[in-house]
Amino acid sequence: MIDRRTFLLNGAAAIIGASQARAQSDMDSMPMPGMDGMQSGHDGMDMTGAAPELPEGEELRELPRLVNQSSQAGSFEANLNAEPATARFVDGLETPVLSYNGRGPGLLIEATEGDKVSIVFGNRIPDEPSTIHWHGMPVPADQDGNPMDPVASGSDRQYAFELPEGSAGTYWYHPHPHGFTAQQVYRGLAGAFVVKPKNDPIPAAYGDTPLFFTDLRLAPDGRIPPNTMADLMNGRIGDNVLVNGQKNPMLNVSAGTRRRFRLFNATNARFLRLSFANSPMTIIGTDGGLLEEPVAGIQDVLLAPAERLDIVVDFQAPGTMALTTMPYDHGWMGGGKPSDESLTLMTIKVSGESKEAAPPLPTALRNIPDLGPAAVTRKFVFGEKMGMNASGMTMDFFINGVSFDMNRVDLQSKVGQVERWEIENPTDMDHPFHVHGTQFQLIDRTRNGTITPAPYKAWKDTVNVARGETVGILLRQDRPGLRMYHCHILEHEQLGMMGVVDVKA
Ligand code: C2O
Ligand code: CU
Ligand code: CU
């Protein structure tokens, strides 16, 4: 019996035996990392020929919106179906994808603090369970789309929760079914969830533009190929970073304006170190909402998988500039490391004369309370293991020496208890650490005995833990139930780098 998290490489083709998870059936005869001229997939996918080129330079589209069906103030109601659809990323090529309500990546849900939300989810994905996980949002554990609460193919369930005061922030949602999360996300299932405050201190004149980053790989025939061994080890890096579903779209702005952007890293595994050419950014918020005060003069930001940022950019001089990626080394196992620097993600055309100055950004945005002293300190150590057995090479991912088991509770906690979690990464790759059900505060990072305190106070639900680093966070769960914590490289999550905390009332 082969453990479902163990991958076997056997000669040129990797074969999985006795796998219960259909996700793994994607791997039958998967291309080997570093092999030139990939072989045909198990379903006859032709992997020969050049990867299709996506068109660039189209005007940036707004994210499609999920329309609120409720006419009552303070309530948001809608249906959300996960279903197969056909996308046309390249003229003349049809790409089978998964979508919410048949819309492109990033379907935006926008609600307001205090709203009651009711979403009826329909799983229309043939033969696969799914869920909707409300990433980063303070929802009850049994409404959070945990792997323990699958929605079977063909069935519906309602997710209901209330957005408490103070929960305004930049969230997202995606499937979380055991063994299927990675593939459902890279096939297209992820959306933005913006919770607006009742009174927003950020001037409305800046606009509020979500930039939802996803990662697309297309086979020559237009289909999305399954994960390779290199993808499973390193996390899947696609060939094209899309912004709101488009490759290198064009945004037109007038000189002298200031724009607010919400950045979402909804890729499976891509680290995005971003820069807006010569225009410095001002960070105004993180995953869980606004900072206490703006942090100005930022030249580049690292957005690890699943992280979000709320920023303001000043566009002064007319001309053309670009949002690009800069080099960032997150570690890589084996060959075939994709080049992920100097990509142009979006082009911005700044036109016209500089008009009168944009309204100023307030110096105080909100108050973020301290969590106070920790009652408990817990340690989490990431692990990867490559080994050999009779059949070939094996690969496993751990937290504290064990792979995820849905039927095991890894630790017990208490509602309202402040805890310090220390996440240590002695492995070869960076792993972005995420906790469900709450927002935490990054306290410090330790490397070779040197402690660096967090640069500013912020609410986060995902934090990158770089190779050789230990990250200290403070958190408190305010609602009881089972909560997941895991690496948000979705292939690592799926291969066992996840645990369960049982929060007792
Ligand atoms: Cu986006 Cu379990 O998370
Ligand atoms: Cu989550
Ligand atoms: Cu990881």
- Give the pLDDT band (50/70/90) at residue 334: confident
**What is the per-residue pLDDT across 52-78, written as a single tens digit (0 to 9) for each?**
999 999 999 999 999 999 999 999 999
Task: Compute, in angstroms, the gap from residue 421 CA to the centroid of ligand 3.
Answer: 17
Residue 45, pLDDT score? 57
Mean pLDDT for the stretch of residues 212-230 = 95
**What is the per-residue pLDDT across 283-315, written as a single tens digit (0 to 9) for each?**
999 999 999 999 999 999 999 999 999 999 999
Residue 488, pLDDT score? 98
Q: Note the residue count of the chain.
A: 505
Task: Compute, in angstroms, the gap from residue 486 CA to the centroid of ligand 2.
Answer: 9
Which residues partner with 331 through β-bridges?
A: none
CB-count exposure of residue 126 (10 Å: 0-12, 13-18, 19+): exposed
Residue 482 has pLDDT above 70, yes or no: yes
Which residues partner with 4 through β-bridges?
A: none
With tokens 């998870």, the residue in question is 21
Residue 278, pLDDT score? 78
- For the chain, what are the domain ranges? 28-196, 204-351, 376-504
More confident residue, 20 or 433: 433
The token pair at 414 is 């208490």
**266 CB under 6 A from ligand 1?**
no
Spatial contact of 243 and 346, defined as CB atoms under 8 Å apart:
yes
Residue 385 has pLDDT above 90, yes or no: no
Residue 47, pLDDT score? 64
Which residue, by CA, sits nearest to atom 1 of ligand 1? 135
Task: Compute, in angstroms, the gap from residue 196 CA to the centroid of ligand 2.
Answer: 19
Helix or strand (DSSP H, E) at 415: none
Task: Compute, in angstroms, the gap from residue 75 CA to the centroid of ligand 2.
Answer: 23
Residue 389 has pLDDT above 60, yes or no: yes
Non-local (6+) Cβ contacts of 21 within 8 A are 4, 178, 179, 180
**What is the per-residue pLDDT across 15-57, written as a single tens digit (0 to 9) for each?**
222 222 223 333 333 333 322 223 333 444 556 788 899 999 9
Non-local (6+) Cβ contacts of 145 within 8 A are 131, 132, 133, 134, 159, 173, 175, 176
CA distance linking residue 480 with residue 137, whole number of Å: 14
**What is the per-residue pLDDT across 90-145, written as a single tens digit (0 to 9) for each?**
999 999 999 999 998 899 999 999 999 999 999 999 999 999 999 999 999 999 99
DSSP 423-474: EEE-SSS-EEEEESSS-BEEEEEEETTEEEE-SS---BSEEEE-TTEEEEEE
- Residue from 4, 9, 2, 3 nearest 388 by CA: 9
Task: Compute, in angstroms, the gap from residue 436 CA to the centroid of ligand 2.
Answer: 5
The token pair at 31 is 């291309």
- Residue from 217, 505, 244, 178 nearest 336 by CA: 217
DSSP 26: G
- Work out which ligand 1 atom sits closest to the CA atom of 176: 2
- Work out which ligand 1 atom sits closest to the CA atom of 136: 1
DSSP 318-360: -EEEEEEE--------SS-PPP-SS-EEEEEEEES---SPPPP
- Give the pLDDT band (50/70/90) at residue 338: confident
CATH of region 204-351, choose from 2.60.40.420, 3.30.1180.10, 2.60.120.200, 2.170.120.12 = 2.60.40.420
- Give the pLDDT band (50/70/90) at residue 487: very high
Which string of b and e fits 421-448 if b means at least 16 CB within 10 Å? bbbbbebebbbbbbbbbbbbbbbebeee
CATH number of this structure's domain 376-504 = 2.60.40.420
Ligand with an atom nearest the CA of residue 493: 3
**176 CB under 6 A from ligand 1?**
yes
**What is the per-residue pLDDT across 141-197, written as a single tens digit (0 to 9) for each?**
999 999 999 999 999 999 999 999 999 999 999 999 999 999 999 999 999 999 999
Residue 471 has pLDDT above 70, yes or no: yes
What does pTM read for this prediction?
0.91
Residues with CB under 5 A from ligand 2 (ion): 135, 436
Residue 428 has pLDDT above 50, yes or no: yes
Residue 107, pLDDT score? 97
In the CATH hierarchy, which fold is given to the domain comprising 28-196? Immunoglobulin-like (2.60.40)
- Give the pLDDT band (50/70/90) at residue 356: confident
